[in-house]
Structure 1
Amino acid sequence: MTLSLEWIDEREGGAGEREEAWMELLEKLLRIAGEQEGVTKGIVTLTLTDNEGIRQLNKQFRGLDKPTDVLSFSMLETVEDEPEIRYDDEYETVETDEGDEEDDAEQAEAESTDLSDPFADMIGDIVISVPRAEEQASDYGHSFERELGFLFVHGFLHLIGYDHGDEEQEREMFAKQEAVLAQAGLTR
């Protein structure tokens, strides 16, 4: 398994040629950021939405009834009082061919590990409001691609544990973002 990006477009009308070009850019940014942070495998899911879609998520998960630019939902972090996830039999059943018992036991253990958690390869989900990214690109005087890239890398860094709760953390996280964007040629 390698580091990969899956994406969903929830906006009315869905994705078109313009969005296909964005995905090439975002895959490049994911590869650069992954290399920078030593993340070599896993799946990141990106959802493109509108201001109403991200407002609903922001309200549901953060208690803030307003749109935002990007949200991240890490599958690597656990939170206090998180419910146990149970999978149906489809994911828990492991079948092996008859043969060498030792090899079968090792294979069953490996498959059981992989199948017992179908989300084991998931790093997390990033949700970006495209209209908000367009507004911010205009406000900041740079390209939409740079803003989209900034939000995506910002979201990815949150997925792998970075935060910007204080000035030191913010400096570190934003320096990492800028390094990735510069390597991809997305400067201001």
Structure 2
Amino acid sequence: MSVYIKIFNDSGIKNLALIKVERAVRRTLKSELVSKAEIIIVYIKDAEIKKINKKFLKHNNITDVISFRLDESVLYGEIYIGTGRAIRQSKVYGVSLTKELMRLAVHGTLHLIGYEDDTENKSNEMFNLENKYIES
């Protein structure tokens, strides 16, 4: 399997469990039968993800994760994760920050693969897959 995953931490927060996040993304790719991929994951501050959200998606708000598929012929893309939002969500959901970061990375990966969450059914499907891949 030719899979390249690189994680950058531009959030200023230390100890973000990069290895566990990478393993969760690899499990997702393997389970979804993706054998070739290049994925860049970037942890960023809320202000930065808000700028990306506004510039590329025309939404003027902070979000937790944004993914961009950069090449349609192979799975090549970038995933941006807002760490401030992830911290808040981990507290709301009663899970560790590591588990929330894993979930967001898997969510972004599923989007790169082609999953959508624009309906309740699709959102539920993605949620179930996220839980499956972070618990594996």
After the TM superposition, list the runs of 4 or more consecutive aligned residues in structure 1 that deviate by more than 3 angstroms.
none
* Corresponding residue for residue 10 of structure 1: 10
| Superposed counterparts of 1:52-63, under 5 Å | 52-63=47-58
With structure 2 as the length reference, what TM-score do the two structures score?
Answer: 0.91
1:133 lines up with 2:86 in the alignment: yes
1:137 Cα offset (Å): 0.4
1:154 Cα offset (Å): 0.3
* Corresponding residue for residue 103 of structure 1: none
1:42 Cα offset (Å): 1.4
Contact 2:53 2:62 in 1 (8 A): yes
- Which sections of structure 2, spanning at least 5 residues, go unmatched? none
Q: List per-residue Cα deviations over 1:48-74 (Å, max 9, x = no partner).
A: 100100010000011111111100001
1:46 lines up with 2:41 in the alignment: yes
Q: 1:75 aligns to what SS in structure 2? A: strand
* Residues in 1 aligned to 2:106 and 2:127: alpha-carbon distance in whole angstroms: 10
Q: List per-residue Cα deviations over 1:129-149 (Å, max 9, x = no partner).
A: 111101110111111111111
Structure with max Cα Rg: 1
| Superposed counterparts of 1:1-188, under 5 Å | 2-12=2-12, 16=14, 18-19=15-16, 22-77=17-72, 123-183=76-136
RMSD of aligned alpha carbons = 1.7
| Letter paired with 2:80 | V
* Residues in 2 aligned to 1:182 and 1:129: alpha-carbon distance in whole angstroms: 22
Q: 2:35 aligns to what SS in structure 1? A: coil
* Residues in 2 aligned to 1:138 and 1:156: alpha-carbon distance in whole angstroms: 23
* Residues in 2 aligned to 1:5 and 1:71: alpha-carbon distance in whole angstroms: 16
Q: List per-residue Cα deviations over 1:90-114 (Å, max 9, x = no partner).
A: xxxxxxxxxxxxxxxxxxxxxxxxx
* Residues in 1 aligned to 2:89 and 2:110: alpha-carbon distance in whole angstroms: 20
How many pairs align?
A: 136
Q: 2:43 aligns to what SS in structure 1? A: strand
Q: 1:3 aligns to what SS in structure 2? A: strand
1:163 Cα offset (Å): 0.4
* Residues in 2 aligned to 1:32 and 1:54: alpha-carbon distance in whole angstroms: 26
1:2 Cα offset (Å): 1.5
- Which sections of structure 1, spanning at least 5 residues, go unmatched? 78-119, 184-188
Contact 1:4 1:44 in 2 (8 A): yes
